[in-house]
A = this chain, B = another copy of it.
Amino acid sequence: MEERISLSHGSGGKQTNNLINDLFIKYFNNEIISEMNDSAQISLDGSKRIAVTTDSFVVNPIFFNGGDIGKLAVCGTVNDLAMSGAKPLYLTSAFIIEEGFEIEKLEMIVKSMADAAEEAKIQIVAGDTKVVEKGGVDGVFINTSGIGTIYENTNIKAYNAMAGDVVIVNGTLGDHGMTIMCQRSGIDIEGELKSDCAPLNSLVDSMLEVCSDIHVLRDATRGGVAAVLNEIAEMSKVSIELDESSIPISEEVKGSCELLGLDPLYIANEGKLCCFVSEAYANQVLEAMKKHSLGANAAIIGRVIEQVPQKVYLKTIIGGKRIVDMPSGQQLPRIC
Let me know if B48 and A126 touch, CB within 8 A.
no
**Chain B residues with Cβ under 8 A from A95's Cβ?**
56
Minimum CB distance partner of A23 in chain B: B110
Complex partner residue of A39 from B4, B44, B45, B126, CB under 8 angstroms? B126
A304 at the interface (CB under 8 A from B): no
Complex partner residue of A89 from B7, B42, B130, B141, CB under 8 angstroms? B42
A157 at the interface (CB under 8 A from B): no
CA distance A143 to B143 in the complex (A): 7
A209 at the interface (CB under 8 A from B): no
The interface bits of chain A over 93-109 (1 if a CB of B lies within 8 angstroms of the residue's CB, else 0) are 11111111111101100
Let me know if A24 and B94 touch, CB within 8 A.
no
Let me know if A33 and B129 touch, CB within 8 A.
no
| Interface size classification for chain A | 35 or more
Flag the segment in A131-139, A185-193, A283-291 that touches B: A131-139
Minimum CB distance partner of A124 in chain B: B28
Minimum CB distance partner of A47 in chain B: B45
A308 at the interface (CB under 8 A from B): no
Within the complex, the shortest CB–CB distance from A328 to chain B, in Å, comes to 15
CA distance A54 to B124 in the complex (A): 11
